[in-house]
Structures are given as structure tokens and as C-alpha cells.
Amino acid sequence: MIKTITATEANRRFSEILRLIDEGETFIVTTHGRPRIRMERVREDILEREAAKERLLERLRSQEGYAIVPWTRDELYEDEEVLHREHQEFLDYLRTLPVLNIGPWTRDELYDDASESEE
């Protein structure tokens, strides 16, 4: 069950609230009558997923990018043979990139835009 408390009350009863959270309670802390934070127990699987996400993002930041240059409309509709060759070159490039089994994640965990839209 979710309980609502004021920030002042949360400050005064902090140790007691921590104990109740360990027992499974959830609190919404308000300031001037407006909800400010949610206090609840942290699940271990969430911590593991966050760590996996951070490892992946750090790895992506450290990788060299693939140069994509602007193209014209005519270049988009080239000969099938040329398109097939360029496609193969790109696939060959992708195959050179090392693959790590970092862990499962969802799109929402990888992109900040999903968390922003929930607020």
C-alpha cells in the first residue's frame, strides 16, 4: 500500500520509514501538498539491468562511428548491382564489430525519451 507523508514528517521519521520500506511499504513524499518523490525498496534486478545499460552505453560511446555521407536522389536509385555491393560492404563492416553479451534490456531502458514521456 502506498502511503503519503510530508517532507517534514519523512525527515523526522526517516529511520522508521526505512524500516517500513524494508518491510515492503511505499511512500510518496509531498512538499506544499504536491508529490515530490516516491520512496520504495530497490529491486536487485533493476540494479543489474542499470549496470548492464551503463556498460553498453559506455561501450557505444567509445566506438568509432561509421561515416554516413549525404546522398542525392539519383544515388538512392542506383543499379541493383551497386546497391547490393554497398549493402554487402556495410554488412562486412558490421561483422568486424565485436559483440558483447552484456544483458537483456528494453528500448525504454536505453533511450531517455521514454522516461521523459512518462512524467
Is the pTM value of this prediction over 0.75? no
d(CA 103, CA 105): 7
- Domain extents for the chain? 2-39, 48-118
Q: Where are the alpha helices (DSSP H) in the chain?
A: 7-12, 14-22, 44-62, 73-76, 80-96, 107-110, 112-118
For the segment(s) 2-39, the CATH number from 3.90.1280, 1.20.120, 3.40.1620, 3.30.70 is 3.40.1620
Q: Of 4 and 82, which is predicted with more confidence?
A: 4
pLDDT in tens, 67-102: 777 877 777 676 777 778 888 898 888 888 876 666
